[in-house]
C-alpha cells in the first residue's frame, strides 16, 4: 500500500463514519479541494507522531486583540508593540482570542469568519504578529452569530445556508443534553419556511451549526486554510465537544465529533505547513483525555483541572487533591501534549474538579472567592437544578487570601501558582491579566451585565507602561518575576513538554514533581510550598544522585549535600537540578 493510498483509505474510512449516506468519493475530493485549493499540494507522507512539534522554549500568552488600547492606534498594533517590548525572549507564542467581527460573547458569536474585526485591525496586522510569535487562532466551529450572514441566509431560505443550522422540536427528548448554560436550549425563530426551533448550546445569539450537512464541514476546512495562509500555526477548536447533536442523547462527545477531529488531524498531518490542533473541552478528566484519541486526534488538550486544583491548594495550604489527581494523570501520548494554565478569558471552570474536589471543598473555594469580590456562574442540570459552572475572577485576585483569611503572602502565593504551571509536563500558557496582575474589573461587570467581564479588563497602554516602568507596582513586580522564571525555564531540557514526570510524595504542604529530559541527562526536582508555613524536606526524599552537583535554578545557589534538609519558605518554589544554569 502506498502512502497516497494510506491517506485516501484513512480519509475514506472517516468520511464513512460521519457521512455514511453521502457519496464518499465525491466527498473525499471535495475535502481535499477545500483544504488544498488553488494548486496547493499536500505532503507525500504524513507526519508521524513525535515530540518534535514543540520544545521547552514554547510558552504562550493568551489575550484579546483589544486587551491593550489607547484610543488612537489599532489595538493589534499595540498588542504587537507590547509583545515585542515586554514578551520577546519570555514567551514565543500568542493566542489572540477571536479577532473576527462578532455580536456578543466577546468574539465567540462570530458574524464573519473571513475578516478581521476592523476595530482591531486587519489581516496584515495579524501577519506581522505571526512573523515574530507562534500564533494561535480560534475556530469557533460549534455556532455562529444570530445576526451574521449565515443565519440571515438561513432565515430567508437561501442556499447553502438553509441547511447550515441544527433544528429540533420541543417534543424531542432533550432531557439528557449536557449544557454549560441555564438559558433554554431551543429558540423559536421565524423563517421563510415558517417557524423553526434552532439549537443554542450557549446563548440565543449563538446558533448551533448542523455538521450532518457536509457543506458545513467543508466551509470550516476552507476557513482553517485561510488561517494557516495568514500565519496561524495552532488552531483552537472551540467548544468542539458539542459539535454533533442527537436528540435522546447527551449531545456531547458523540462518535461523529471524534471522527471529525480525527479527519482534521489527518489533514494537518499531511499539510506542508506545521499545524497543531488544540481541543477546548472544559469537562472532567476522562472525557477531556479522550480527545487525544490514539494519537490521531488533537495534538494538544487543555489541562482543565489545573486552575481549580492549584487554587484550592494555595487557599487550603494543602496539595492533597492536586497531588492525588496529578499522580493519576497519564503522560501525553507520542505526538501529543498538555496545555497547562491557571487562567483564561473564561472563569475558573469547576466541572473539571468534579470527582476530584469534594463538594464541601468546592463550597469553601466559592465562599472565599465571594469574600474577595469574585462571582460564580451556574449551569443547568438535567433535573432542572443548577450547579456551579465557573468562578469569575482574575487569578491574581483569587490568590489574595486563603481559607484562613488575608495575610502578607499574596505576591509569593500567586507566583507559586504560576510556577507550578511552568514545572509540569506540557506547554505553559498565561493569560495576559495574570502576567499583569490585573485586579477584578467590577465596573465592566456592571456596565456589561456579564460575570466574565470581571476578568476581561482593557488596559490603557500609556497607563500600563507607566505601571510596568515603576518597579514597585504590582504589575511590574509580577511581570518581572514571571518573566525571569520563564527565561530560566526555556533553557532546561527537563522542561520539554514531553520530558518524564513523576509526582513526588512529599506530604500535603509541598507539591513536587521530578522531571527528566528526553535524553535523561538533566533532572529537575520542582518543589512548590503551597502553604504559609516553612517546610523542611529531607534530601533523601528527593533521591538526589550523590556524585552530581545539585543547585537551585531559582536562587542560583548550590545545594549543600552535607546537609540533610532542604528548606522552603512560605509559598517558595525551588527548581533543583544537576545541569545548566
DSSP secondary structure, 362-416, as one string: HHHHHHHHHHHT-EEEEEE-TTS-EEEEEEES-HHHHTSEETTEE-S-HHHHHHH
Residue 164, judged by CB atoms within 10 A of its CB (0-12, 13-18, 19+), counts as: buried
Q: Name the residue among 155, 126, 318 with its Cα closest to residue 226.
A: 126
Render pLDDT for 470-486 as a digit per residue (tens, 0 to 9): 999 999 999 999 999 99
Query: Does 42 count as an annotated binding residue?
Result: no
pLDDT of residue 581: 42
Could you tell me if residue 528 is inside a domain? yes
Number of domains in the chain: 1
Was 484 annotated as part of a binding site? no
Residues 6+ apart with CB under 8 A from 546: 561
In this prediction, residue 545 carries a pLDDT of 72
Scan for cell 495575610, then name that residue.
407
Q: Is residue 549 part of a domain?
A: yes
Other Cβ atoms closer than 10 A to 86: 18
Assess if residue 539 is contained within a domain: yes
Q: Taking a C-beta distance cutoff of 8 angstroms, is the pair 510, 537 a contact? A: yes
pLDDT at position 565 is 86
Catalytic residue ranges? 238
Residues of the chain with pLDDT under 70: 1-5, 580-581
The answer to the question of residue 479 being in a domain is no
Instruction: Report pLDDT for 220.
Output: 98
- CB atoms < 10 A from the CB of 289, how many? 18
Return the pLDDT at 4.
Answer: 56
Give a yes or no: residue 243 inside a domain. no
Cα separation, 82 vs 461, whole angstroms: 9
Task: Give the structural domain span for 560.
Answer: 500-577
Residue 517, domain member (yes or no): yes
CA atoms of 250 and 382, how far apart (whole Å): 10
Supply the pTM of this predicted model. Answer: 0.96
What is the DSSP pairing of strand 300-302 with strand 276-279?
Answer: parallel
Distance CA 94, CA 58 (A): 10
The reply to whether 16 sits in an annotated binding site is no
In order of 370, 413, 436, the CA distances from 407 in angstroms are 17, 10, 21
Is 143 labelled a binding residue?
yes
**CA atoms of 449 and 539, how far apart (whole Å):** 53
Asked whether residue 105 is marked as a ligand-binding residue, the answer is yes
Pair 405, 565: CB distance under 8 Å: no
What is the distance between the alpha carbons of residues 547 and 539, in angstroms, rounded to a whole number?
14
| 167 DSSP 8-state letter | B
Query: Does residue 382 form part of some domain?
Result: no
Q: Residue 368 burial (CB < 10 Å; 0-12/13-18/19+)?
A: buried
Residue at grid coordinates 461587570: 445
Residue 320 is assigned to a ligand binding site: no
Q: Which of 506, 304, 507, 504 is nearest to 421 (CA)?
A: 304
Q: What is the DSSP string of 265-308?
A: HHHHHT-SS--EEEE---S-HHHHHGGGTTTTS-SEEE-TTHHH
**Phi, psi of 42, rounded to the nearest 5 degrees:** -95, 170
Separation of alpha carbons 235 and 279, rounded Å: 8
Quote the pLDDT of residue 2.
52
Q: Would the annotation count 155 as a binding residue?
A: no
Find the CATH number of the domain harbouring 522.
2.60.40.1180
Determine the Cα–Cα distance for residues 463 and 497; give it in Å rounded to an integer. 36
- List the beta bridge partners of residue 567: 536
Contact 431, 345 (CB under 8 A): yes
Task: Tell me: is residue 346 an annotated ligand-binding position.
Answer: yes
51 assigned to some structural domain:
no
Paired strand residues for 566: 537
d(CA 116, CA 317): 45
Find the DSSP H helices in 404-508.
410-423, 432-435, 442-448, 461-468, 474-489
Amino acid at each position: 500500500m502506498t502512502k497516497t493510498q494510506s491517506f485516501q483509505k484513512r480519509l475514506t474510512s472517516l468520511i464513512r463514519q460521519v457521512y455514511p449516506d453521502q457519496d464518499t468519493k465525491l466527498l473525499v475530493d471535495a475535502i481535499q479541494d477545500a483544504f488544498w485549493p488553488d494548486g496547493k499540494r499536500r505532503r507525500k507522507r504524513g507526519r508521524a507522531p513525535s515530540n518534535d512539534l514543540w520544545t521547552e522554549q514554547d510558552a504562550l500568552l493568551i489575550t484579546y486583540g483589544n486587551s491593550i488600547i489607547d484610543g488612537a492606534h489599532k489595538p493589534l498594533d499595540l498588542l504587537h508593540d507590547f509583545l515585542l517590548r515586554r514578551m520577546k525572549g519570555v514567551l514565543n507564542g500568542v493566542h489572540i482570542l477571536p479577532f473576527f467581527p462578532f455580536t456578543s460573547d466577546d468574539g465567540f458569536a462570530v458574524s464573519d469568519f473571513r475578516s478581521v474585526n476592523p476595530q482591531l485591525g486587519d489581516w496584515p496586522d495579524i501577519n506581522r504578529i505571526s512573523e515574530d510569535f507562534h500564533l494561535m487562532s480560534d475556530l469557533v466551529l460549534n455556532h455562529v452569530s444570530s445576526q451574521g450572514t449565515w443565519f440571515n441566509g438561513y432565515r430567508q431560505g437561501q442556499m447553502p445556508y438553509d441547511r447550515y443550522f441544527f433544528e429540533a422540536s420541543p417534543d424531542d427528548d432533550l432531557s439528557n443534553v449536557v449544557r454549560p448554560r441555564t438559558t433554554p436550549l431551543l429558540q423559536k425563530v421565524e423563517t421563510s419556511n415558517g417557524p423553526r426551533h434552532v439549537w443554542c448550546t450557549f446563548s440565543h445569539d449563538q446558533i448551533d451549526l448542523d455538521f450532518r450537512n457536509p457543506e458545513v464541514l467543508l466551509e470550516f476546512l476552507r476557513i482553517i486554510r485561510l488561517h494557516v495562509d495568514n500565519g496561524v500555526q495552532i488552531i483552537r477548536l472551540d467548544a468542539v465537544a458539542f459539535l454533533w447533536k442527537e436528540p435522546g442523547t447527551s449531545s456531547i462527545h458523540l462518535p461523529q465529533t471524534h471522527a471529525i477531529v480525527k479527519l482534521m488531524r489527518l489533514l494537518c498531518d499531511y499539510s506542508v505547513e506545521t499545524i497543531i490542533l488544540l481541543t477546548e473541552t472544559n469537562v472532567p478528566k476522562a472525557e477531556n483525555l479522550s480527545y487525544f484519541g490514539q494519537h490521531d486526534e488533537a495534538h494538544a488538550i487543555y489541562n482543565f483541572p489545573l486552575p481549580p486544583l492549584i487554587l484550592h491548594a494555595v487557599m487550603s495550604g494543602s496539595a492533597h487533591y492536586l497531588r492525588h489527581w496529578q499522580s493519576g494523570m497519564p503522560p501525553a501520548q507520542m505526538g501529543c501534549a498538555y496545555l497547562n494554565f491557571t487562567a483564561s478569558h473564561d472563569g475558573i471552570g469547576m466541572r473539571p474538579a468534579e470527582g476530584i474536589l469534594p463538594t464541601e471543598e468546592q463550597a469553601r473555594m466559592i465562599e472565599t472567592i465571594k469574600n474577595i469580590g469574585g462571582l460564580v456562574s451556574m449551569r443547568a442540570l438535567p433535573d432542572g437544578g443548577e450547579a456551579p459552572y465557573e468562578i469569575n475572577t482574575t487569578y491574581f485576585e483569587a490568590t489574595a487570601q486563603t481559607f484562613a483569611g488575608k495575610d502578607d503572602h499574596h505576591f509569593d502565593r500567586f507566583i507559586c501558582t504560576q510556577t507550578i504551571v511552568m514545572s509540569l509536563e506540557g506547554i505553559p500558557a498565561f493569560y495576559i491579566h495574570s502576567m499583569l496582575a490585573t485586579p477584578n474589573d467590577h465596573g465592566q461587570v456592571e456596565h456589561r451585565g456579564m460575570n466574565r467581564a470581571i476578568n476581561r479588563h482593557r488596559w490603557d497602554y500609556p497607563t500600563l507602561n507607566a505601571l510596568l516602568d515603576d518597579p514597585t507596582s504590582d504589575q511590574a513586580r509580577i511581570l518581572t518575576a514571571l518573566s525571569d522564571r520563564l527565561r530560566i525555564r526555556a533553557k532546561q531540557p527537563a522542561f520539554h513538554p514531553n520530558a518524564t514526570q513523576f509526582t513526588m510524595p512529599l506530604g500535603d504542604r509541598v507539591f513536587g514533581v521530578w522531571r527528566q529530559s528526553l535524553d535523561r541527562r538533566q533532572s529537575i526536582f520542582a518543589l512548590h510550598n503551597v502553604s504559609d508555613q516553612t517546610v523542611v524536606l529531607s534530601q533523601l526524599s528527593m533521591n538526589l544522585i550523590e556524585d552530581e552537583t545539585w543547585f537551585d535554578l531559582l536562587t542560583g545557589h548550590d545545594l549543600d549535600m552535607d546537609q540533610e534538609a532542604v528548606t522552603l519558605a512560605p509559598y517558595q518554589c525551588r527548581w533543583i537540578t544537576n545541569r545548566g544554569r
